[in-house]
Amino acid sequence: MLCGCGNKNNNELILATEAGFAPYEYYKNGEIVGVDIDIAKEIAKELGKELVIKDVSFDFLINEVKSGKADFAAAGISITDERKKEVDFTDEYTTSNQVVVIKKDSNIQSFDELKNKKIAVQLGTVADLYVTENYKNATLITHKKYLSAVEDVKSEKADCIIMDQLPALEIVKENPELKVMDGILFQDKYGMIVKKGNDSLRKEINRVLQKLNEEGTIEKLILKHSN
């Protein structure tokens, strides 16, 4: 079996995601849509399988794949050495700019000022790791979902959120009292993950990602889901 993950239904390809990360995955009219979802549909189509989407917490994604409950996962997953110890990554398919979201009336002027602030992040993300390593005197506030991080900043329980630029722009659209600080805090790269040793599925995904990148489709999907 291609996926080697013990699914009862061999016709299904199971994607684990965390659907609170527009434009990559989010709910629209009760359905999970987004850049990663459109890519996953292309992968399923190439494999002749039916895509099944599981919405789980971001910090559960690796376990879903390791345990075989999902064939692969995509949710703006940054490629890190720590994660590579647990799962195999596909090729990178997009570069992420990490930014800082603050209240419009905040007095924070520069990234240097964050070192003593209360910083909200999503649990298990690259921003979580970045704050731990680079802002050791800051108060780190972790959230399962970005929506609760947003509420913390609005109510001044947190001074800012560190997160991916594209979802950040979506958040400030919906929350006019917030803004994205000027500048990029740091960059990282996203990949999809499969169970360690599942080279057949990883290669199939890479083939689809390469094709979509060469065609410019991934850029178009990001624009489509960011409007």
Q: What are phi and psi of 98, to 5 degrees?
A: -95, 130
Note the pLDDT tens digit of each residue in 210-220: 999 999 999 89
Architecture of domain 97-186: 3-Layer(aba) Sandwich (3.40)
Strand partners, 143: 122
Torsion of CA 170, 143, 115, 166, to 10 degrees: -20
Rg (CA), the chain: 18
Specify the pLDDT at position 3: 43
Considering the chain, what percentage of its residues have pLDDT values greater than 90? 85
Produce one character per residue of 204-217: b if its CB has 16 or more CB atoms within 10 Å, e if not. bbbebbeebeeeeb
Q: Are 149 and 158 in contact (CB under 8 A)?
A: yes
Predicted pLDDT of residue 156: 96
Residue ranges matching CATH 3.40.190.10 in the chain: 12-94+190-226, 97-186
Token pair for residue 76? Answer: 């703006």
Chain center to CA of 138: 23
Q: Which residues of 95-122 are buried (b: 16+ CB within 10 A; e: fewer)?
A: ebebbbbbbeebeeeebeebeebbbbbb
Q: What is the pLDDT of residues 22-33, one digit of tens each?
A: 899 999 999 999
Q: Could you tell me whether strands 72-78 and 12-17 are parallel, antiparallel, or unpaired per DSSP bridges?
A: parallel
- pTM of the shown model: 0.80
Beta strand pairing status for 72-78 and 186-195?
antiparallel
Residue 16: Cβ within 10 Å count: 24
CATH superfamily of 12-94+190-226: Periplasmic binding protein-like II (3.40.190.10)
Of 71-75, 84-88, 187-191, the poorest mean pLDDT is in: 187-191
Write the pLDDT tens digit of every residue in 183-212: 999 998 999 999 999 999 999 999 999 999
